[in-house]
Amino acid sequence: MAKALPKTLSELKNSGWKSRTVKDELRENLLRKIEKGAKPFTGIVGFDRTVVPQIENAILSKHNFILLGLRGQAKSRIIRQLDNLLDESLPVIEGTLLNEDPFNPISPMGKKLIAEQDGKTPIVWLSRKQRFNEKLATPDVSIADLIGDIDPIKAAREKLDISNEEVIHWGIIPRTNRGIFAINELPDLQPRIQVGLLNILEENDIQVRGFPLRLPLDMLLVFTANPEDYTNRGNIITPLKDRIDSQILTHYPKTVEEAKEITLSEFSRHNEKIRIPDFVNDIIEEISFQARASEYVDQTSGVSARVSISAYENLQSNIERRALRNQDNDLFPRVCDIYAVIPSVSGKIELVYEGEQEGSVIVAQNLIGQALNAVFLQYFPRPRKDRPDPDRPTPENPYEAIVDYFAAGKRLELSDDMPFAEYKKCLEDVAGLKALVKKHFDVKDKREMLLRMEFVLEGLHHNNVIARETEDTVVRYADVLSDMLRGMEGTA
């Protein structure tokens, strides 16, 4: 049975509890976690050797710190887990607004309660979560929101002089005393508001309506910012940057495997019967990697990990919708499902001027095509487009039967809403397609076999071996030369 927590100042003194600063508390608890081999953060992927050690160093150094990184780099998730390094509960004087230490009260009210009740002063205990507060910086945030202001109604009601500290309505920062306070998107704070944070970081004194207040506030201050926003929406004033002890840079996942782990951990599954092959997951993640290297995408804005998460959700929704419409229980992806993620991609990437000229949908389609091709070349040999040297033996072309099929004037038409039986027949009619997939993969599932067959056609198209055109939800594959000639005839 858990021991009852002290409820009065006398009981607290007799329990042997000792005061310590928040930064000492965080430091000591982190040291214990490190000694036990426990991770301080959960659900954070790819930061174990980069960001997390720097955060640990900042906490061990008792530093206030800032996380700098583009959108979708887990900055908010990290700061919201910092309270896990706090003690499970903390005693405060009941009735005070500033979470005051029973052994060291800082406000007139706290000091008055101790003086009047002494050992009988009631104590309450705050949980970890109650000791963490955050504020999203917006241009309309005021000093009153963060630090406080005079409350004339309280002064009149209690007949107190306006200069009395007890008439102050405390802001969110003093109310987080003995805890962790975080400001998200710091550059969005107006410079005059940032100035109000200077003394809190350095001297622990604040001003409310011209009255200087010496309050020894005890807290860890943490900030987040997008470094590229400095020139777009605001800036961190130099004196404030100088008072933030550690600056830590975050980053996007460095490998597809890390990106997949993030996406799958965040994805809210709708239908447990849907099975997605691993190479399709690779394609979804590769879209973001391609976007982060694209000349059409504004790299200073970043490409959030939420692109992959939303795309994965759209992929599964399209599969589920088609299966229900066709009533064939074919809960397995097709290539059309990959292109169905366009709304998730186009709405989450910022384009440069050239990208705007192309259009967000075209850019998204091209990114998906580049992702498909990148993954295709990981599994299949690169298609040969150059003419063989007549003086050398012609190397074997693994795609020859497929190319010949389309060169004979045949075409393949697939649609998003095509029933499974028809979809299967169309793909199996393409000469050499199934044999090629069997040569490279030991595929047992017939649906995965069909998906990989369709995947080969997409790969050949993106390597300019066969032609592909789309009309609404219909995709047609044909011979490149025949398609070109047909186009010329249409313009003649």
Identify the pLDDT of residue 65.
96
Judged by DSSP in three states, 135 sits in strand
Under a CB-based contact definition with an 8 Å cutoff, are residues 174 and 215 in contact?
A: yes
Q: So what's the pLDDT on residue 482?
A: 64
Helix, strand, coil percentages in the chain from 3-state DSSP, rounded to 5 = 50, 15, 40
d(CA 492, CA 489) in angstroms, rounded, equals: 5
Distance, CA of 479 to CA of 399 (rounded, Å): 13
pLDDT per position as a tens digit, 63-94: 999 999 998 899 999 999 999 999 999 999 99
Look at residues 113, 88, 87 and name the one whose alpha carbon lies nearest to residue 100. Answer: 113
Percent of the chain with pLDDT over 70: 88
In degrees, to the nearest 5, what angle opens at C-alpha 169 toward C-alphas 165 and 174?
85
Burial 374-405 (b: 16+ CB within 10 A, else e): bbbeeebeebbeeeeeeeeeeeeebbeebbeb
Q: Would you place residue 328 in the very low, low, confident or very high pLDDT band (cuts 50, 70, 90)? A: confident
Residue 36 has pLDDT above 90, yes or no: yes
Closest CA to 411 of 392, 390, 426: 426
- Superfamily for the 9-249 domain: P-loop containing nucleotide triphosphate hydrolases (3.40.50.300)
The pLDDT value recorded for residue 32 is: 96
Helix 446-462 / helix 420-428 crossing angle, nearest 10 deg: 60
Least confident of 154-158, 300-304, 424-428: 154-158
pLDDT at 144 over 90: no
Q: Are strands 168-170 and 148-150 parallel, antiparallel or unpaired?
A: antiparallel
**What pLDDT digit, counting tens, does each position of 337-379 carry?**
999 999 999 989 999 999 999 999 999 999 999 999 999 999 9
CATH numeric code, 256-379: 1.10.8
Scored b (16 or more CB within 10 A) or e, 338-371 reads bbbbbebbbebbebeeebeeeebeebbbbbbbbb
pLDDT in tens, 96-124: 889 999 999 988 888 889 998 988 999 99
The string of pLDDT tens digits covering residues 182-228 is 999 999 888 888 888 887 777 666 666 666 667 788 999 999 998 86
In the chain, residues under CATH classification 3.40.50.300 are: 9-249
**Residue 161: pLDDT band with limits 50, 70, 90:** low
The chain-wide mean pLDDT, for the chain, equals 87
Token representation of residue 95: 């009735």
Can you state the angle between helices 256-266 and 278-291, rounded to 10 degrees?
A: 110
In angstroms, the CA 26 to CA 128 distance is 12
Q: What percent of the chain has pLDDT over 90?
A: 60
**Would the pLDDT of 231 be above 50?**
no
Q: DSSP letters along 308-327, please?
A: HHHHHHHHHHHHHHHHHHHT
Identify the burial level of 74 via C-beta atoms within 10 angstroms of its C-beta, where 0-12 means exposed, 13-18 middle and 19 or more buried.
buried
pLDDT tens string 167-187: 777 889 989 999 999 999 999
Does the structure show a pLDDT above 60 at 232? Answer: no
Token pair, residue 347, equals 């709405």
pLDDT digits (tens, 9 = 90+) for 389-441: 555 555 678 899 999 999 998 999 999 889 999 999 999 999 999 999 998 88
Angle (nearest 5°) at CA 153 between 151 and 159 = 100
Of 451, 437, 436, which is closest to residue 275 (Cα–Cα)?
451
Neighbour tally for 133: CB within 10 Å: 16
- Rounded to whole angstroms, how far apart are CA atoms 109 and 368? 63
pLDDT at 462: 94
Residue whose C-alpha is closest to residue 305's, from 337, 345, 341: 345
Confidence check: pLDDT of 388 > 70 = no
Q: What is the mean pLDDT of residues 446-469?
A: 93
Give the confidence band of 155 by pLDDT, cuts at 50, 70, 90: low
The tens digit of pLDDT for each residue in 468-484 reads 998 888 999 998 876 55
Q: Is the pLDDT of residue 157 over 80?
A: no
- List, by residue range, all CATH 1.10.8 domains of the chain: 256-379
Q: Is 477 strand, coil or helix?
A: strand
pLDDT for position 193: 87
